[in-house]
Amino acid sequence: MIQANARSITAIAAGIVVLGLLWTLALPAAGQDRRSQVIVTEMKGAIGVAAAIQACDVIAEGGRSGAEAIVIEIDTPGGLLSATRDLIQCILGSLRPVVVYVAPSGARAASAGTYIAQAAHVAAMAPGTHLGAATPVALGLPGPLRPAERRPEPDDKKNVPAPAAERGAGDQKAINDAVAYLKGLAQLRGRNAEWAEKAVREAATLTASEALKENVVDIVAEDLSRLIAAIDGRSVKIGSSEIRLATSGAEIVRRDPNWRIRLLAAISDPNIAFILLLIGVYGILFEFWSPGAIVPGVLGGISLLLALTALSVLPLSYGALALVLLGLALMTAEAFAPGFGILGLGGLAAFILGAIFLFDPQGADFDLRIAWQVIVGAAAASALLSAVALASVVQARNRPVTTGAEEMIGATGRVENWQGRKGAIHIHGETWSAESDRSFIAGDLVRVVSRDGMTLLVEPHAAAGDKKS
């Protein structure tokens, strides 16, 4: 018995030893570090909500995984002000170093891109790129977005923004706010704060070599691999502590936008959002006009929800949106209450004006207008649909009655049998009781002149024959 227990204890101990050996083999060798990573994402085109969400997600992932650095390759003319500020907050709150790299050659970091580059722990540029022109370009202007007014220099070779004395109080406040914001970012990263002020007040720009010389960026690198090699060993300050980058031999992990981000980027384009709004409104209207069609209602509902999602992330002018909806309502009303085209013309004018001013230019530092081709096409399509609906209503009003008691009046039938003043006639595939002040024989054609309940009053067909049985 004792020997049996001893054998059992020995077997258990041996099993534990074997499991321990397997676990040890599964773990990395002592002193062997996991290969470091550099996470890279791209930001191309105007900076919108989708681009900001993508970059913030990558920054958060880098913080969770302990990546050596997060690189954002940027090429942008500007962006939505709200999205830009959200992205900068993500950079400032990052747990790992963020590198903003203006690339490839020919790229730019204009306007909002300059603010993002200055917020980065490391700002880098590729040869042949430029940054700057950070002057707000929509300073309280009541119309479509236009560049900041510029005045020629005496040599007529350079342009600068309008002098401060010629700007309104609201414009000057916006300029001062932008200056303070960009200078604060430059000072935080130990860069040239004086140039940051020029970038806002004078729309100054710099090439890559000039930016490096002026201490506006930290590195000029020909490509991503050289950038990663250049930042190796560099110390950056995150919070109250300094982190020394060790990117040599790091694995480059690219993060492309997922389908959700791509869909949001697509629908948040002002032209796409406007078109989706029209499809949604007309789809639902067609469903009301033709109940049971299903397809217009489904497409309209989906399009309208997508449009509302896009409009919720764009700087929308609600007064202009009201004009667009009023225009659609008036053009629709023209089809049901014809008023010599007054409702239709008024609706068309309201629709075009609303489309022109639909997006608030103060919410972005790039051209946020709907393309005029889209406005003209949408207005023409709306007018055409209104005209088609009007023609259909007029045609329906002039069409003879085809149902109910009135439909029998004027119809022609054939006598089946007749006795005295009463008999039976065949009409519309049915046999009806009939009366008349005349006498008929089987086979005579008669015309219905009135109806009394289930009895038809008829007269000889020869009196006014207009329909065939």
For the segment 2-40, what is each residue's pLDDT rounded down to a tens digit? 455 555 555 555 556 556 555 544 444 433 445 689 999
Q: Where are the beta strands (DSSP E) in 143-215?
A: 150-152, 159-161, 205-207
Q: What is the pLDDT of residue 407?
A: 67
**Is residue 258 classed as helix, strand or coil in its secondary structure?**
coil
Most confident of 93-97, 308-312, 449-453: 93-97
Per residue in 362-382, pLDDT (tens digit) is 666 666 778 888 888 888 887
* Among the listed residues 35, 38, 105, the one whose alpha carbon sits nearest the alpha carbon of residue 69: 38
Which amino acid, one-letter code, is at 365?
D
Cα separation values, 378 from 257, 303, 460, Å: 31, 15, 57
Q: Would you identify the CATH topology of the domain 405-463?
A: OB fold (Dihydrolipoamide Acetyltransferase, E2P) (2.40.50)
Q: What is the pLDDT of residue 441?
A: 85
- What is the Cα 282 distance to its own chain's centre? 19
Q: What is the pLDDT of residue 404?
A: 55
Whole-number Å distance between alpha carbons of 287 and 298: 9
- On whether the CB atoms of residues 96 and 62 are closer than 8 A, the answer is yes
447 class by beta-carbon count within 10 Å (0-12 exposed, 13-18 middle, 19+ buried): buried
Q: What is the pLDDT of residue 9?
A: 55
Whole-number Å distance between alpha carbons of 138 and 148: 7
Which amino acid, one-letter code, is at 199?
A
Which amino acid, one-letter code, is at 467?
K
- On whether the CB atoms of residues 64 and 97 are closer than 8 A, the answer is no
Name the pTM for this structure. Answer: 0.67
| Token digits of residue 236 | 């950056």
- On whether the CB atoms of residues 49 and 264 are closer than 8 A, the answer is yes
In the chain, domain spans: 37-259, 265-398, 405-463
Question: Does residue 355 surpass a pLDDT of 70?
Answer: yes
Q: What is the pLDDT of residue 426?
A: 87
- Looking at domain 37-259, its CATH superfamily turns out to be 2-enoyl-CoA Hydratase; Chain A, domain 1 (3.90.226.10)
* Among the listed residues 415, 402, 407, 404, the one whose alpha carbon sits nearest the alpha carbon of residue 459: 415
* Among the listed residues 88, 97, 67, the one whose alpha carbon sits nearest the alpha carbon of residue 218: 97
Whole-number Å distance between alpha carbons of 405 and 450: 9
Percent of the chain at pLDDT > 90 equals 31
Alpha helices in 221-269 (DSSP H): 224-231, 259-267
DSSP assignment, residue 191? Answer: -
Alpha helices in 28-151 (DSSP H): 49-65, 81-92, 112-119
Q: What is the pLDDT of residue 136?
A: 73
Q: What is the pLDDT of residue 314?
A: 83
- On whether the CB atoms of residues 245 and 228 are closer than 8 A, the answer is no
Instruction: List 413's β-bridge partners, or say none.
Output: 446
| Token digits of residue 427 | 């009409």
Average pLDDT over the chain reads 80
Whole-number Å distance between alpha carbons of 336 and 332: 7
Q: What is the pLDDT of residue 421?
A: 85
75 φψ region: left (φ > 0), alpha (ψ -120 to 50), beta (else): beta
Binned at pLDDT 50, 70 and 90, residue 399 comes out as low
Mean pLDDT of 226-236: 93
**Is residue 437 classed as helix, strand or coil in its secondary structure?**
coil
Q: What is the pLDDT of residue 25?
A: 46
Per residue in 442-452, pLDDT (tens digit) is 888 888 888 87
Q: What is the pLDDT of residue 102?
A: 96
Cβ atoms within 10 A of the Cβ of 251, count?
12
* Among the listed residues 144, 137, 147, 146, the one whose alpha carbon sits nearest the alpha carbon of residue 355: 144
- On whether the CB atoms of residues 308 and 362 are closer than 8 A, the answer is no
Question: Does residue 53 surpass a pLDDT of 50?
Answer: yes
Q: Where are the beta strands (DSSP E) in 150-259?
A: 150-152, 159-161, 205-207, 219-220, 235-238, 241-244, 251-254
Instruction: List 107's β-bridge partners, or say none.
Output: none
* Among the listed residues 289, 294, 291, 325, the one whose alpha carbon sits nearest the alpha carbon of residue 307: 325
Q: What is the pLDDT of residue 300?
A: 86
| Token digits of residue 201 | 């007040």
- Identify the helix (H) or strand (E) that includes residue 287: helix 270-289
Query: Which single residue is written with the structure tokens 């002193």?
Result: 31
- On whether the CB atoms of residues 460 and 447 are closer than 8 A, the answer is yes
- On whether the CB atoms of residues 250 and 35 are closer than 8 A, the answer is yes
